[in-house]
A = this chain, B = another copy of it.
Amino acid sequence: MTKAKASPKKAGPVDDHFLDAAARLFRQKGFEATTVRDIARAAGVLPGSLHYRYPTKADLLLALMKRGVEADLGCLRAAISGVREPVERLRLALRARLRFLLSRDAPQVVLYDWRSLKGRAREEMIRYRDQYEAFWKGLLYEAAGSGWLRPDIDLRLLRLLVFGAINGAALWYSRGGPRTPDEIADAFWGLIAYGVLDEARRPHDVDTALRALSAMEVGVGDG
């Protein structure tokens, strides 16, 4: 052991610099396609210096992802603090999430380089992800409890639907596009909240249709 195994100090601006450089490259080319030499060059430093703070490339990835999830949660909490109405909290959180996702590299690395996490690092990130998910589960649970949502909605699927849509935006959003992240978030929420079928031409008994869908909860196969 030539150096302390678990250094007591907690991240500084220099670490941020390294992590930011790595995050940009990981997002652009992926973890596996990025070399430590690439990262060092992008950070304006020689490979050895990188190694001093992050002994392995995987350590760098883990640190970067952890910081990403923490910052994400921070943004979310800040965005909804002081707002009580559950559906509005949901809308504001979605805005914050999309804004964060599209303005930083780290959250996209978290999404798309998950495969590169192995062993201990993977387990550690799973804990972080669970914590992050719990936040959203709570938000949806509040909204459902408030009575604003249809009572027969599967909250898990709703969460996965919304998150898939939001996360997918990282793949197609471009800064020059016709809409801002906030507008996209609101538009998505508008579609999901009110539905896309024209009310005037919905099936005569919507309730029947919905009940048919929710009946699948007990697992009717598709033949």
Name A residues whose Cβ lies closer than 8 Å to a Cβ of B.
28-30, 32-33, 87, 112, 115-116, 147-151, 153-154, 157-158, 160-169, 171-172, 178-180, 182-184, 186-188, 190-199, 201-202, 206, 209-210, 213, 216, 219-222
Contact = CB atoms under 8 A, between A and B. Distances in A.
A70 to B, nearest CB: 21
* Dominant secondary structure of chain A at its interface with chain B: helix
B213 A186 contact: yes
Contact of A197 (B193, B209, B222): B193
B195 A116 contact: no
Contacts of A154: 187
Q: How often does this chain occur in the complex, in copies?
A: 2
Nearest to A166: B164
A89 to B, nearest CB: 15
Given A30-B32, A186-B216, A221-B180, A195 B192 contact: yes
A168 B167 contact: yes
A191 B33 contact: no
B30 A150 contact: no
A172 to B, nearest CB: 6
B116 A33 contact: yes
A150 B213 CA distance: 21
Contacts of A213: 186-187, 190
A144 to B, nearest CB: 9
Contacts of A166: 164
B165 A194 contact: no
Given A198-B151, A222-B182, A169 B165 contact: no
